[in-house]
Structure 1
Amino acid sequence: MGSRTLSDARILAVDDEPANVDLLEGLLEDEGYAGFCGTTDPREVAELCKSFSPDLILLDLHMPHLDGFAVLEQVTNDKAEDEYLPVLVLTADVSPDVKQRALAGGAKDFVTKPLDATEVLLRIRNLLETRFLHLQQSAARKEAEAAERRAEFLAEASRVLGTSFDYQTTLSQLARLAVPELADYCMVDLLEDKDVYVQVGVAHVDAAKEALIREAVPATGSRHHPLSPVFRSGKSLLVPKVSEDLIYRMFGTPELQQLAVQLDPRSAMVVPLQLSGRLIGGITLVCSESHRCYGP
């Protein structure tokens, strides 16, 4: 959840009566909730779930075109298997069968109309607290899994580097080790002479794009490697978001810029390689297709 609070929650209200949507908006606004979206057309819910990304859905059951049960089924089928997206049903239908059907269909709670403001707000708060707890646990689990993958990578990298005194050959294997666990594509470049680098390793989750990398990133004999200043600094560089402006500044010609854009770099990490305190090259890790991000 990061620094998000309950007041930042995104709440989607679905009711074919505009007055009901307006009532909920006013109720939530008075309570301090900032993110509200309402619709009187249940056919819009699927698209709103994508564009608005709600933390909670307030749903009427009896609506034209698409009733609440159909919306519940749609939401359940569209969300990720491990995602907790609570739906609070608000309806005037108090029959036990309807309540049981809604809860069995994926609703997390049920309130009957006419609404009691205090009850509605308490149930909304309870569901949002559970939603945010799930988000925190999911983020912690993903971070633990990422840390485990990094540890496995470092262990395997150490094993590979320890198998031969020919570091140029063994370093070329690092690119394959890094993809896809740490990056969507990876380049390993070694220093041959002052500012002259040779590319000894390339790997991409899409093997067909490895040729693009070799074209976009200068290889043997180049005196204009776009990352050579970072390698020389001896300090790792983290780029949480790679902008087009950065691509255009790093790659001097329109041809190279176009190739780099095709590779769609979104986040990057550059790590200088040193041996006994001497610069020998660098590893460039890039996230693209997976939408992962290095850093905050």
Structure 2
Amino acid sequence: MTLTEQERLDARILIVDDQPANVSLLEAMLHEAGYTQVSSTMEPDKVCAMHRKTPFDLILLDLQMPGMDGFQVMEGLKANTAEDDYLPVLVITAQPGHKLRALQAGAKDFVSKPFDMVEVKARIHNLIEVRLLHRQLARHNSDLERQVHERTAELRESEARYRGLTELATDWYWEQDGEGRFTKVSGPVLEMLGLQVEALSDSGEEHGDEGWNPAEREQLQARIAARSPFLDMVLSRELPGGVTRQYRVSGTPMFDASCTLIGYRGFGVEILGSNR
């Protein structure tokens, strides 16, 4: 992220001081430096409302003012600013003892009276750059969050479409957890495979194991143990009466954000004409 010189010079600056001479001096210095949006007020009680209406990129704030001092202004600004937002305040003080207190109150920097104009311009330049970069970063993070949200919604929609098309094009769709238990099935998978309804909550090892070709089952279980996808694996099962049915099953592993296996999902079809 970078700033152009014009972006910096177009920053919105507010001068808050009860002394007209100080206001005039700072305004002249800022205009001479090329800043295009400089405002001022000698009424500190109006600062919070002004900043709330149209936030400033930098507030030059005198600490010692009658009625409402700079510390009270900063408290009001903080009360109307999000906790993680940037408080763009450069305090002006003639009291060395106020500097630490001002920084603790939320000010980002300070300048001392009488003014050293070279120092004042340098500190203003630096704080405006930090403020504008902070704003750019906040916008960038917001854009990233929006993109992630949109991408997540797209993935969910894509997954729903995939599942719907799979259900239409195959005999059944299935999902298993990391322990091999069925967590979701669609289509006549339970009836076709001879599984009991309890297989959705209990291990598949306990239900419907009779008659399956042991070599094919072992090959499938080895692929699952290796966390590998499998495509069109054939499973044969001999039913009572000597009838053999064959099924073609495909599946892919599912992982969470930490790359931990959380299960499998896939689809299957019965191979027609396999009865013997």
Same fold (TM over 0.5): yes
Q: Does 1:144 find its partner at 2:144?
A: yes
CA shift, 1:51, in A, is 2.5
- Distance in structure 2 (CA, Å) of the matches to 1:7 and 1:52: 17
Match of 2:89 in 1: 87
**Partner residue, 1:14:** 16
Q: 1:2: Cα distance to partner?
A: 8.1
8 Å CA contact 2:3, 2:129 repeated in 1: no
SS of corresponding position for 1:30: helix
Of residues 32, 57, 61, the one that matches 2:59 is 57
- Distance in 2, matches of 1:8 and 1:85, equals 18
Structure 1 or 2, whichever has the larger Rg, is 2
Between the aligned residues of both structures, percent identity stands at: 44
Q: TM-score, normalised by structure 1?
A: 0.53
Other-structure match for 2:122? 122
C-alpha separation in 2, matches of 1:52 and 1:32: 21
Work out whether residues 18 and 43 of structure 2, in 8 Å CA contact, stay in contact via their aligned partners in 1. yes
Tell whether the 8 Å contact from 2:93 to 2:113 is kept in structure 1 after alignment. yes
Superposition CA RMSD, Å: 1.9
What CA distance in whole angstroms lies between the structure 2 residues aligned with 1:2 and 1:51? 25
Q: Which amino acid aligns with 1:51?
A: K
CA distance in structure 1 between the aligned counterparts of 2:32 and 2:50, rounded to whole angstroms = 23
Contact 1:10 1:52 (8 Å CA) reproduced: no
State the Cα deviation string for residues 32-74 of structure 1 (Å, max 9, x = none).
0001110000000011102231001100011111111101111
Q: Is the 8 A contact 1:57 1:87 kept in 2?
A: yes
Question: Across the two proteins, how many residue pairs are aligned to each other?
Answer: 164
- The answer for the alignment partner of 1:217 in structure 2 is none
Structure 1 unaligned runs (5+)?
166-296
Tell me what 1:66 maps to: 68
Aligned CA distance change for structure 1 residues 2 and 89 (closer, same or farther; 3 Å): closer
Q: In the alignment, what sits opposite 1:29?
A: 31
C-alpha displacement of 1:86? 2.1
* Separation (CA, whole Å) in 1 of partners of 2:83 and 2:56: 16
Residue 44 (structure 1) aligned with residue 41 (structure 2): no
Instruction: Tell me if structure 2 keeps the 8 A contact 1:6–1:129.
Output: yes
Give the whole-Å Cα distance in 1 for the aligned partners of 2:70 and 2:3.
Answer: 32
Give the 3-state SS of the residue equivalent to 1:5 in structure 2. helix
Deviations for 1:91-112, whole angstroms, at most 9, x for unmatched residues?
Answer: 2222x2x111111000111111
Q: Normalised by the size of structure 2, how large is the TM-score?
A: 0.56
For residue 25 of structure 1, give the secondary structure of its aligned residue in structure 2: helix
SS across alignment from 2:40:
strand
